Chains A and B, each alone.
Chain A
Amino acid sequence: MTIIRRYWIHVVLILASITFVGPFIWMFLTSLKTYEETIQVPIVWLPEQIQWVNYQIVNEKFPFLTLYFNTVAVVLATVVLQLLIASLAAFAFARLQFPGKNALFIIMLSLLMVPGQIFLIPQFQIIGVRFNLIDTLTALVVPNVFSVFGVFLLRQFFAAIPQELEDAAKIDGCSSLRIYWQIMMPLVTPGLVALGILTMISSWKELLWPLIVNQSIDKMPLSAGLANLIGEHTTYHEQVMAGAVISVLPMIIIFAFFQRKFVESIAQTGIKG
């Protein structure tokens, strides 16, 4: 009985794995073929000769290096600034008393429910037109450093720190700023890591805002740049797939190394608190 059950679980999971990974394998195989092989009917599964040259061609046609540089710069700046700003506020909401705290908290809570596109037109007017930041990397970072979600996530971590620790520090004459930075920040590291990873994933995937605010390709992140790749060069399937491989491989490698951390961070979003 259990053996049959186990057997079925394997069958289902193998099918599921093929469904999820198969497309990527097909992407990789296509990227190694010649154009003639990609349009052969019926399908040829493997290239006769591996065409690494496709990667070279697509890399020459398309500024992957710039796009990667932009993406890394934007993601890093977003993560660092967001962690700092969110942790400051989370500390205040978890640990300090001030008039109007509940009202401000409710404002934040309601912002969390509002769909993002509500803000886009005014944000474009403010950041793009008023501050004249169209076609800059700064424009890609600015709206994302103010994260209400981040405050909610980190607040739980700050709130979980025992009161005695704070009291002892106060008796020693520590200011709030030192309590925040020197005592509490090290203790909420798991929360910071989780938020950092989540922000990294969402900043890495973001598409709509970069499309709106930046038009020239040398100021685009990879996500929006690839959208241009679709528009311009779709004839050569093997080159498009080589481009796709270039754009997914680094993240998959990072994921392979830090899978546990990634999974824990994504799981954090599901904990109610």
Chain B
Amino acid sequence: MKRFRAGLSGYLFIAPLFSGLLLLYVYAFVQNIFYGFNDVGVFGERTFVGLENYSELFQDPIFIRSLINTFFYAGLGVPLVVVISVCLAWLLNQKIKGQALYRTAVFIPAITLPAAIGLLWRWLYNSQYGLINFLISKLGFEPKAWISDPDIVRWSILIVLVWSSVSYMVIILLAGLQRISSVYYDAAQIDGANTRQIFFKITLPLLSPTIFFVAIVSMIGFLQVFDVIFLMIRDGSVAYQYASSLVTYFYEAAFAQNLRGYGAAISVISLILIFAITFMQFRLQKRWVHYD
């Protein structure tokens, strides 16, 4: 009791946060797991159906496709984002003229509304009048139906996703690069190391905690992609279901079609997926991440 009273002010300080967390997150979490085993109506009325939602999910071709697509986006997107943003951050960290201008240019997509990015790329991808088809036909390639051809649409989305997340990740990596003490570089230069050796033997290992962080954050982001797919192709494109991700399908099931229980089951599968992949990343990090 005495201990509790001594802690009373501590509880008061966290009370506002935890009242919200407990209701809107902890309770919601439990509720959502519960919903997954029920048919849930629009007003929250429930009938228990056991594992039916889950067994239906794995026979649902659009869900399977959403699952595969999500692996496609994350599996290709994360390595691309990591490699491109590390290279770009390294270049932007060189002392050259116009550095500030280059940086501003690269950072702009990071602060742009996803909705505007969707509108913009939809127009760039326009099969008749779009800039991209114009440019590639100048280069001698066939114009493509970027957002309506089921075989291409996932690639078109991948490009936009990588484009917008590289911009954000470069900012984080650049800060990581600036925290590397110049002592290491000076020592390497005295020992006569060349640029490539410095990059691979010094910069990369010392940057590896930040790279790991970027890999985790972009993996979680890619496993939850929604905005770009929703905004670029939902309306008026038959390719929507070919581009579907776990979160877009979650939205369609739970809110467009009001299948709340089914939607809850989809979100539980995403949770398990994200946990498993994040866990694996943490296991693997011991092999390549160096903390000083």
**Which residue numbers of A lie inside 8 Å of B, CB to CB?**
5-6, 9-10, 12-14, 16-17, 19-21, 23-24, 26-27, 30, 38-43, 84-86, 88-89, 91-93, 96-101, 104, 107-108, 111, 113-127, 129, 142-143, 145-146, 148, 151, 176-177, 180, 201, 204-205, 207-208, 211-212, 222-227, 229-231, 234, 237, 240-241, 243-244, 247-248, 251-252, 255-256, 259, 262-264, 266-267, 269-272
Contacts and interface: CB of A to CB of B under 8 A. Distances in A.
B231 A227 contact: yes
Nearest to A175: B9
B213 to A, nearest CB: 5
Contacts of A231: 235
B119 A26 contact: no
Contact of B20 (A85, A120, A251, A269): A85
Contacts, number: 285
Given A19-B163, A115-B224, A121-B263, A24 B108 contact: yes
B91 A9 contact: yes
B5 to A, nearest CB: 10
Interface bracket on B: 35 or more
Interface of B: 3-4, 6-11, 13-14, 16-18, 20-21, 23-29, 31-32, 35, 40, 43-44, 88, 91-92, 94, 96-98, 101-102, 104-116, 118-124, 126, 128-129, 131, 134, 163, 167-168, 171-176, 195, 209-210, 213-214, 217, 220, 223-224, 226-227, 230-231, 234-236, 247, 250-251, 254-255, 260, 263-264, 267-268, 270-271, 274-275, 278
Given A98-B6, A266-B110, 5 more contacts: A97-B6, A97-B7, A98-B7, A122-B35, A270-B176
B226 A208 contact: yes
B128 to A, nearest CB: 7
A205 B114 contact: yes
Contact of B21 (A24, A148, A224): A148
Contact of B88 (A16, A38, A85, A97): A16
A40 to B, nearest CB: 8
Contact of B96 (A6, A145, A269): A6
A127 B97 CA distance: 52
Nearest to B35: A121
Contacts of A201: 111
A20 B254 CA distance: 35
A237 B236 CA distance: 15
B17 A88 contact: yes
A23 B117 CA distance: 9
Given A88-B14, A207-B226, A267-B171, A115 B271 contact: yes
